[in-house]
Structure 1
Amino acid sequence: MNWDDYRTFLAVAQAGSFSAAARTLHVDHTTVARRISTLEQDLGVKLVERLAREVKLTPVGKRLAALGTPVEEAMASVERAAHGAGNSLAGVVHISAPPSLATMALAPRLLALRQRYPDIDIRLTGEKDFANLNKGEADIALRLSRPNTPGLIARKLRDIPFFFFANHTYQVLEDHWEFITYHEEYNSMPQQTWLLAQLGARRVVLRSSDAQAQAQAAASGLGVALLPDYLGDGDPRLKKLTSALTPPPRELWMLVHDDIRRAPRVRAVMDFLISTLAR
């Protein structure tokens, strides 16, 4: 049995579909399907029932998935120990961050890191879900909340203020603003929860799952978007609107697993992120 095939099966068991597992593993859908088929052939049992939009574990699949959790944790621990054992300022460091933060606040600053540490290569992933640092899905994670996950070291970098932004030509009284917000499935996000409580009878003209799409729509003149400073300030077409309301800030946290935080290349990138993003 190939360990990578089995790890793929565990990802499918946790994610509930081939496509979701593929996103977690950073591979394509066909690779996941192929590895599951290979594992089933090697073991001589059927592990999953393939449905239209999801997969369902067979009874044998459920038993093998339960047995695999401690094995996966042990393998992840070995991989972290090996990853953190290097003593050079060279190699790959994987950073996971919210998409708009990765695009607007981090990517434009990476040249300075490259100039300082030319032998460190960065892998930057913009993702809304939390990368599992215990499983090595990233080395460093930037998040707008602090997960309470054992084994992780967390450092608060700063408070990120939110403001109302609209196109420079937007001349509508606050009581009549029309808003651009997130989809309903994001209503539990702190800034979305707060905004919905303030809307009253005012209209939502666009709902989008992507903060950058919201910013682009606001810049076009469609309406008012509640955006973090790094996203709204970066677009010259947008202006901050004066409001009687004060949106609450979000906390920006940097997370790293204790097993790898002392690796020189990881420490160097952490120090860079602190100097660049903390204020």
Structure 2
Amino acid sequence: MQAGDLTFLVALAEARTFSAAARRLDTSHTTVARKLRLLERYFGTRLAERVGDGVVLTQAGEEALKSADRIAEELASLERRVAGRDSSLSGRISLTSVDILVWRYMPLLSQFRSRFPDIELAVSTETEVLSLSRRDAEVALRLTNSPEGYLFGHEIGRFNFAVFGHRELTSDGRPLDALPWLEYSSRDCRERSAEWKKRHVPKAVSSCYLPTPLMMLAAVRSGMGVGALPVEIAAQEPDLACLVPEPCFSLGVWLLAPEELRQTARVRALFDFLRSGDSEHVPSLDLTATGV
């Protein structure tokens, strides 16, 4: 058995079906099933069993999964430690974030690429940003008040969220709790927005759930409903009205990386560049030109 064989068990545990695990590993359904059979033959016991349409790990499978996770983390840690010794201003940086932060900071990222043309920047946007501990990405730009303690980073900005709605939707004088409400489906924004609504508009009914502030902005602009948006962005929109003057909640913009990459030249260059970036060079969003 090779350490890499355990990735099939990890994928199966996370995906819960052979087909979904195969898609995650970019392989075939039969390959995943065959690898599982080989692992079970090697260990001499069942590692997974079918339950309905899905697959769940047995107790032995759970034990193997714990070891697989430890092996994966050790390999990722080794890779980060080795990569952290790189002193050249070249190579690749994988940056994970949510869409509104990439959009907000794209002018600075563009300037960074012009300043350091030998550094390749790979940007991914997910509803939930990728893990840095498993080396899914090297640097994260996150909207949070509680960054992981094992990561190195700085707060480079802050978003203050307030309730906004399209002026046409809110011009009839209806009370806040009678308006159609939009809610977040992602954790940090959802928890804080729901807590504020419970205290201030307990009778409000949410009619739609959206994953990111950028999608929320597009929905509010379309008149779909009212919702919490970053004041720093929504206040620039002439068709939107701020319905509650006090912010509902506030989230920091954090730039984060594993501690092992702290002294890597290309990562340090990105940190220094974004930390020193003038906020005047971070414009408000113009969604009209993009069709959002």
Q: Compute the TM-score of the two structures, normalised by the length of structure 2.
A: 0.77
Paired amino acid for 1:139:
E
Distance 1:85 1:226, change over 3 A: same
Q: Equivalent residue for 1:87?
A: 87
**Structure 1 Cα separation of the partners of residues 162 and 100 of structure 2:** 15
Tell me if the contact between 1:180 and 1:207 (Cα under 8 Å) persists in the aligned partners.
yes
Cα pair distance change 1:189/1:203, threshold 3 Å: closer
Q: Distance in 2 between matches of 1:263 and 1:20?
A: 39
Cα 1:161–1:83 shift into 2, 3 Å: same
**Counterpart of 2:249 in 1: which secondary structure?**
coil
Whole-angstrom CA distance in 2 between matches of 1:111 and 1:244:
34
What is the aligned partner in structure 1 of residue 242 from structure 2?
241
2:286 is matched with which residue?
none
Contact 2:183 2:208 in 1 (8 A): yes
Q: Which residue of 1 aligns with 2:36?
A: 40
Q: Paired residue for 2:126?
A: 127
CA RMSD of aligned residues (A): 3.4
SS in 2 for 1:80: helix
Rounded Cα–Cα distance in structure 2 between residues aligned with 1:200 and 1:43: 53
Measure the CA separation in 2 of the matches of 1:162 and 1:6.
43
Corresponding position: 1:192 with 2:187: no
Residues 75 and 224 of structure 1, relative CA distance in 2, 3 Å threshold: same
Residue 20 of structure 2 corresponds to residue 7 of structure 1: no
Q: CA deviation at 1:277?
A: 7.9
Q: 2:182 aligns with which of 165, 175, 180?
A: 180
1:139 aligns with 2:138: yes
CA distance in 1, matches of 2:127, 2:265: 28
Using the size of structure 1 for normalisation, the TM-score is: 0.80
- Give the drift of 1:51: 4.8
> For 1:58 and 1:275, how far apart are their aligned partners in 2?
51
Say whether the 8 Å CA contact 1:18–1:33 is kept in structure 2: no
How far apart, CA to CA, are the structure 2 residues paired with 1:43 and 1:227? Answer: 49
SS of match in other structure, 2:130: coil
In the other structure, the counterpart of 1:56 is 56
Q: 1:93 to 1:28 in 2, by over 3 A?
A: same
Give me the whole-angstrom Cα distance separating, in 2, the residues matched to 1:133 and 1:261: 13
Are the equivalent residues in 2 in contact too, given 1:157–1:277 (CA < 8 A)? Answer: no
Name the SS of the counterpart of 1:85 in structure 2. Answer: coil
Compared CA separation, residues 11 and 148, structure 1 to 2 (3 A) = same
Check conservation: 1:141, 1:256, Cα contact below 8 A: yes
Partner SS state of residue 249, structure 1: strand
Matches of 2:20 and 2:232, distance apart in 1: 31
| Percent sequence identity over aligned pairs | 23
Tell me how far apart the structure 2 counterparts of residues 265 and 81 of structure 1 sit (CA, whole Å). Answer: 14
Letter in 2 for 1:81: R
